[in-house]
Amino acid sequence: MKISIVIPVFNESQKIVESISTINSFFKEEEVEVIIVDDGSSDNSVELINGCAFKNVEVIKLGINQGKGMAVKTGMLAASGDLILLTDADLSVPIVEFVKLKQYITDETPIVIGSRGLSDSNVNNSFLKVLLGKIGNLFIQILVPGIQDSQCGFKLFLNKPAKILFSRQKLSGFGFDFEILFLAKKLNLGIKELPITWKSADRKSSVKFYHYFLTLAELFKVMYNAKTGKYNLSEVKEIEKAKSEVLPTNSHI
């Protein structure tokens, strides 16, 4: 089984090489590709990665900063693994948590996400950011009811559902997380939410407080896109219905 690790990067020179090395050490017995999507970094993140000559790392450069959502979409569509893991460049969620997510992924539940919002999660973050996250989730529940933390940057997908979802993604900012989960729910794709360990980065984050409010504004964009049929969900449902009539899927990975 091949595993793809998609990492969006924006000015991550302090951590990215260490993170890639940690990932490769963890997956040393697995076939793994690491896809780095550089979202217009102004530091030497890309040069540092290329200088290490990792054999299993592909670097995709967007050229100019287009937003985390666009970086993630680019990486997810380029990934070729049977399983595709989305994770942040600083590994705020330890890569070992992949084992937990993998245990629950099946054809019937093709999306398993890490969550900081569950009672069993171990979260080390500032009080203000936790509070803002909880308030934001109250609004996000409008789109993805039942999901306690749509925004955690640690998500595992089966390849085919990932391609269907991310090819329809419209948002380029941080709101892509709840957009993808919204689309998954509309397509009746199973989503499993699991508690994880999460530690705030010991450096200056590229996520500013105003990003929380910009992200919430993107809720309305998703609603508008859905209302105006921009996601072409009916087309996907017809395709999947035809396939399921020929070959039902219920296998475990």
- Judging by beta carbons within 10 Å of its beta carbon (0-12, 13-18, 19+), is residue 162 exposed, middle or buried? buried
Check whether 49 has a pLDDT greater than 80: yes
Cα(238)–Cα(25) distance, integer angstroms:
42
**Fold adopted by 2-246:** Spore Coat Polysaccharide Biosynthesis Protein SpsA; Chain A (3.90.550)
Provide the β-strand partners of residue 194: 114
Give the residue extent of every domain in the chain.
Answer: 2-246
Q: Which of 201, 214, 193 is nearest to 89 (CA)?
A: 201
Name the strand (E) or helix (H) holding 111.
Answer: strand 111-115
Contact 169, 179 (CB under 8 A): yes
Contact 38, 67 (CB under 8 A): no
What are the C-alpha distances in Å from 156 to residues 4, 83, 126? 10, 7, 26
- The radius of gyration of the chain from alpha carbons, rounded to an integer in Å, stands at 18
Average model confidence (pLDDT) across the chain: 89
Report the percentage of the chain scoring pLDDT > 90. 72
The lowest-confidence range among 79-88, 141-150, 165-174 is 141-150
Contact 194, 101 (CB under 8 A): yes
Q: Residue range 236-248: average pLDDT?
A: 59
106-156, pLDDT tens digit by residue? 999 999 999 998 989 998 766 666 666 677 777 788 889 999 999 999 999
Give the model's confidence band at 247: pLDDT under 50 very low, under 70 low, under 90 confident, else very high.
very low
Contact 83, 1 (CB under 8 A): yes
Check whether 204 has a pLDDT greater than 80: no
* More reliable by pLDDT, 121 or 247: 121
List the beta strands (DSSP E) in 125-246: 154-158, 191-195, 197-199
pLDDT of residue 211: 60
Q: Which of 50, 74, 51 is nearest to 62 (CA)?
A: 74
- Residue 47 structure tokens: 């040069």
pLDDT of residue 175: 93
Cα(91)–Cα(22) distance, integer angstroms:
9
Q: What share of the chain is helix, strand, coil (3-state, %, to 5)?
A: 40, 20, 40
Q: Residue range 38-60: average pLDDT?
A: 96
Q: Residue range 45-74: average pLDDT?
A: 96
29 Cβ contact list (under 8 Å, min separation 6): none
